[in-house]
Amino acid sequence: MVEHRSESTARSQAFSIQRRPGENHPGNIAGRPELVAHQPVRIRVVIRAFIGVQIAPEVRARIAEATAQLARQIPGIRWVPEENFHFTLKFLGDIEQSQIEPICEALAEAFRPFRRFTINAKCLGVFPDLKRARVLWVGLEGNNLLALAKRVEIVLEPFGYPRDNRVFRPHLTVGRWRALSGSHKGLEDKLDRWSSFEFGQSVVDEIGLIESVLKSTGAVYRRLRALRLDDD
């Protein structure tokens, strides 16, 4: 989320008005305001961002068809809009705008050995398990996904992002349960037909630095930078 300070706010913080109540203060008429200069205020612009991969439109459409069917069967889920389907390599959280270029330069250098590759969107599953399901996801398969994710972790560590040592399970989130409820009953049967369903392939030819703007209607994503992967 971007935090903006207006120019008028910055000026008001650069100078403050102080009243000197004494009548005998040299050079002052009693009660007259005196301008006292302060150090200029640094305007800090912060955005909420992640490193991610966009999915091909035709694959997103097939996934949306599946979630539309499941929405009629499984209550209590906040569904991710079709246009927001993506694969997150690394969630950064709030970063300063001044960090964007250094981070992108480091990632571009790290991605140099990688070539464009294909990922396969396959099956529906849940985290952490069927009895305590909180996240509904589509699995992703691709030869370079693990190597790419590891490289991102290494590159971002000097920028203050600790490595994530959890088991890497590439996926894209399609829904989140609002709360634990009875909607989990029979969940395994409802997901069974999708357990090995193939939604299609998507070419990964660029990695994006993506801004996430949180609104009352949900998140809105905006690509800030695109880091291209070379052809074979």
What pTM was computed for the model? 0.78
pLDDT in tens, the chain (232 residues): 444 444 444 444 443 444 455 555 555 555 555 555 566 666 678 999 999 999 999 999 999 999 999 999 999 999 999 999 999 999 999 999 999 999 999 999 999 999 999 999 999 999 999 989 999 999 999 989 999 999 999 999 999 999 998 999 999 999 999 886 556 778 999 999 999 999 999 999 999 999 999 999 889 999 999 999 988 6
- In three-state secondary structure terms, 36 is strand
Domain boundaries, the chain: 7-37, 46-228
Tell me, what DSSP letter sits at residue 178? S
User: How far is it, in rounded angstroms, from Cα 105 to Cα 98?
Assistant: 12
Q: Are 3 and 45 in contact (CB under 8 A)?
A: yes
| Right CATH for 46-228 from 3.90.1140.10, 3.30.230.70, 3.40.1010.10, 3.50.80.10 | 3.90.1140.10
Q: Are 201 and 119 in contact (CB under 8 A)?
A: yes
User: Would you name the residues annotated as active-site residues?
Assistant: 86, 171
Burial of residue 21 (number of CB atoms within 10 Å: 0-12, 13-18, 19+): exposed
Could you tell me which residues are beta bridge partners of residue 139? 122, 171
